[in-house]
Chains A and B, each alone.
Chain A
Amino acid sequence: MNNNIRNFCIIAHIDHGKSTLADRLLEATGTIASRDMKAQILDSLTLERERGITIKLVPVRMDYTAKDGNKYILNLIDTPGHVDFAYEVSRSLAACEGALLVVDATQGVEAQTVANAYQAIDQGLEILPVINKIDLPSARPDNAKQEISDVVGLDASEALLASAKTGLGVNEILESVVKNIPAPSGDVNLPLQALIFDSVYDNYRGVICYVRVINGSIKTGQNILFMANNITYPVNEVGVFKPGFTPVNELKAGEVGYITASIKTLAEAQVGDTITDANNPATSPLPGYKKVKSVVFCGFYPVERDNYPQLRDALEKLCLNDSAVTYEPESSEALGFGFRCGFLGLLHMDVVQERLREEYGVELVATAPNVIYEVVKTDGEVIEAHRPSDFPDPSEIQEIREPYIKLSVFMPSEYTGRVMQLVQDKRGTYKSMDYLTPERVRLVYEMPLSEFIVDFHDKLKSQTRGYASLDYELVGLRASELVRVDILVNGEAADAFSFVCHKDQAYNRGHAVVTKLKELIPSQLFEIPIQASIGRRVIVRVNVRALRKDVLAKCYGGDITRKRKLLEKQKEGKKRMKQIGKVAIPQEAFLAFMQVDGNDK
């Protein structure tokens, strides 16, 4: 009975033309007239359009009359391409029976092509390879096909050739979707089981759950049960994405659509949960998703301290739409009150920061990203260390473990040497190297996540002129020879400047920090030693020279009031600084430290 439905998604490496292809499919099926087409309609967040990337998945329903004369409903679920958002990919995959695997004819297979394709295979999806951008003079479709078969291991002999830009091959893709992607299985007569594959928050309607109905059906007024939380709601509205929310009477097994039920918070309607009929519940929920875990952390602080409540409200609202962000209050000596936030990766962090700015008008300071360490103490206790100050005394530490990633880099072979050097400098350990073609290489390394998040991506880009692509996955915690380096200002420990690093980097990074502080701490009435130490052992020392002259001569009758005001201003300036012992340290020092680069000597 669901033979005329096809649920599919498009998976691709970033920039391989996924969103443009989606636009063409919408046009070809008449879902959107081309005159209404904003460039890349599916990228609905402003930020997505600006950056040309897809972050949130967006579903759309198309009506299509195939060459066989039958009418079909095609549900396209767009997916993000960036590695940080791999979990979003896995969610859309679970709602589909098939996937278009788009590969750029000029670039070939890239790191995330492989990662995404494997995920789709793992979910049992039918995969249709599409070679895109064949209109470009530098297109080499045969090479791309070869790579799909050699590197991914999929038969690409039947791969469709297309140009999303010109519209070439789009009809063939639609025909292939109808012909090759299986219709959804499932039984409308069984008790309702609908998978929530995404949810968004709407100010007027509450949470909108994006659902794929696996068995049974769902309609307005029906009492539904969220199986994870055991909460019941009456359905207010069911509908499909035409695009845009379009109410319908009912969603049946095999269909993709949305429901609203005046749900107040995203926590009640968790992504991955199963919705069933409250009066006739299914015996078990569908397999859900792994709960995503934050791996990269940083502090967000309002630029103006008074704006803390605004930042809090903005984060709360943003999290209604992005359940992958975690946050908890923290305070910093330098920055006041703020939040420690967890993200899926660096891009995710960047995106959240920009959304806070763009959508909520919050100006904020983000501290340098870091990871969570695991410290095994000599008494056997295991603690999680978020900040250097969480580390116990060195004598109490048995072992420190840090998260590692498996990193795959795809690149033209000429850059192999440089990339190996780069990864080794970042404490990477070699795993494998293979030639995809005579010109292209895949390198696999394991490296600490903490090294990866600092500036690895930028360095990789500059070392390979942007020709490398990468993918990574977490492979767990590994013991590392890490040390906490303390910074002492005038003999007093300045917690805000202490950091954790590998023992081999302690000197260089300690040197970088004290040198930077020397530049930023203004001369004061006395000489100020700045030291970096590991435990009690000082490894670097510099001095901020004492102030030599600070007096502007004249002061007679008419000057006295003005002079007093200047002194008050001078004092105010000093008050804005943070006092550590007797030393006043300006805000900029704390801010600059957050960007300190270990190689910046």
Chain B
Amino acid sequence: METTNKTGLYIHVPFCERKCGYCSFYSVELRAGNIDSWLESIANEAKNFRATHIDTLYIGGGTPSVLNISRWEKLLRIIKENFDVDNLLEATTEANPNSLTREHIKFFQANNLTRISLGVQSLNDNELKTLGRLHDSDKALKAMELVKDSGLSLNCDLIFGIPEQTLRTWAKSLKGVLKFADHVSTYQLTLEPDTPLGKIYDNESLNQQGYKFYRYSQYYLPRRNFAQYEISNFAREGYECQHNLLYWNHSNVIALGPSAVSYINGVRIKRTPEGMIEREELSERERAIELAILSLRTKWGVKREGLLPEVESVIDSLPDDLFVKSDERIVLSPRGMRLGNSIWSEIIDA
């Protein structure tokens, strides 16, 4: 992949009906007063970017679908007032099957959102319970149907490595979402020690079980025309998430909201939930190494041209079956994708 001159806008909605037991993202349980002051601060942050042209919009969380229509109206007004959104390639919002309504969908259609990313997580009710989700498989199916019928593009998030999960239930969940989705993100359950589930289950032993699920996804999804275009993302051709691609090729992304992280011309800026600004400026070399690592996450891999010679020689020292190499590019093989961390941890130190 190559760095583009595209710019993305991310907005973090830090509210949930209830916090899931595995989640370590920043969010708080819904209380009306907070939402208004959050909107206010988004508006304040946005002023700094007056009229900046953006190519992609991504509203994540948290749970954006807990916002009612009038809050949504305010949010989109802030965006339109402060950014140039005339030629958006893609506009995504995340949503929860428990709170996504027909009204939301109508509103999204009317306001040029193009894509819904739905937190389905599983189509097995026991697994959903273990995860502490508010919805069951039935609600998930209804929500998927709702999006599908609207004609909006649909991504479904699925989680593997859930305690008690079997390859069979995983296969069923995958198959189930394919009826509706254009894009599937598969995430391995990763328990941070400070989360409620992290206190019950041992992350290490859950990790050990990830292989079979991941391997099966790599087998099954491409056969259903969902190419693995990134470590955790599969899509039909043309449905790759344009916004997320910006992260992996070091394009600029403006991020608003508590805990959101912007990347602007080699500088990463995080606004902490407490309102502090953390600034990290990457050196030329750090940028080059990070870009190589991020590019290798995708099916387009890294271009040899411009690649640091030391990174190239690290790659050459690793087993051949981890890569597909051409004269122009180096791409991870499916096995390479399974072993990404081990590969990148070599590259990071090149």
Contacts and interface: CB of A to CB of B under 8 A. Distances in A.
Nearest to A562: B261
A467 B294 CA distance: 68
5 contacts: A548-B211, A549-B338, A553-B186, A557-B262, A557-B263
Contacts of B10: 557
Nearest to A556: B247
A571 B187 CA distance: 23
Interface stretch (B34-42, B96-104, B168-176, B339-347): B339-347
B231 A551 contact: yes
Interface string A295-327: 000000000000000000000000000000000
Given A558-B25, A561-B261, A568-B349, 16 more contacts: A525-B319, A549-B211, A550-B340, A550-B341, A551-B337, A552-B188, A552-B207, A554-B187, A557-B247, A557-B255, A557-B261, A557-B263, A558-B260, A560-B294, A567-B344, A570-B345
A564 interface: yes
A555 interface: yes
Nearest to B347: A567
A128 B186 CA distance: 87
Contacts of B215: 549
A555 to B, nearest CB: 6
Contact of A554 (B232, B290, B318): B232
B341 A552 contact: yes
A151 to B, nearest CB: 60
Q: What 7 A-B pairs come out closest when comparing CB atoms?
A: A553-B232, A551-B340, A549-B211, A570-B345, A558-B261, A571-B345, A550-B341
Interface of A: 524-526, 547-558, 560-561, 564, 566-568, 570-571, 574-575, 582
Contacts of A566: 341
A551 B341 CA distance: 5
A552 B207 CA distance: 9
Nearest to B208: A549
Interface in B188-226: 188, 190, 207, 210-211, 214-215
A549 B341 CA distance: 9
B319 A549 contact: no
B30 interface: no
Interface residues of B, number: 47
Contact of A571 (B210, B214, B346): B346
A495 B207 CA distance: 34
A588 B192 CA distance: 26
A316 B81 CA distance: 78
Interface of B: 10, 25, 185-188, 190, 207, 210-211, 214-215, 231-232, 244, 247-248, 253, 255, 259-263, 268, 270, 280, 290, 293-294, 297, 317-319, 322, 337-346, 348-349
A551 B187 CA distance: 10
A561 B207 CA distance: 21
A555 B249 CA distance: 12
A442 to B, nearest CB: 55
Contacts of B244: 556
Contacts of A560: 247, 261, 263, 268, 290, 294
Given A552-B188, A557-B253, A557-B255, A525 B294 contact: no
Residue in A550, A553, A568 with the greatest tally of chain B CB atoms within 10 Å: A553
B308 to A, nearest CB: 16
Given A547-B339, A558-B270, A553 B259 contact: no
Nearest to B214: A549
B293 A567 contact: yes
A548 B297 CA distance: 17
A173 B318 CA distance: 80
B187 A553 contact: yes
Contacts of B261: 557-558, 560-561
Contacts of A524: 342
A551 B190 CA distance: 11
B259 A558 contact: yes
B345 A574 contact: yes
A135 to B, nearest CB: 58
A363 B294 CA distance: 43
Contacts of A582: 317
Residue in A550, A551, A554, A566 with the greatest tally of chain B CB atoms within 10 Å: A551
A564 B214 contact: no
Contacts of B349: 568, 571, 575
A525 B290 CA distance: 21
Contacts of A564: 290, 293, 348
B268 A567 contact: no
Contacts of A568: 345, 348-349
Contacts of A526: 319
Contacts of B260: 557-558
A564 B214 CA distance: 22
A306 to B, nearest CB: 23
A555 B348 contact: no
Contacts of A554: 187, 190, 232
Contact of A553 (B188, B211, B294): B188
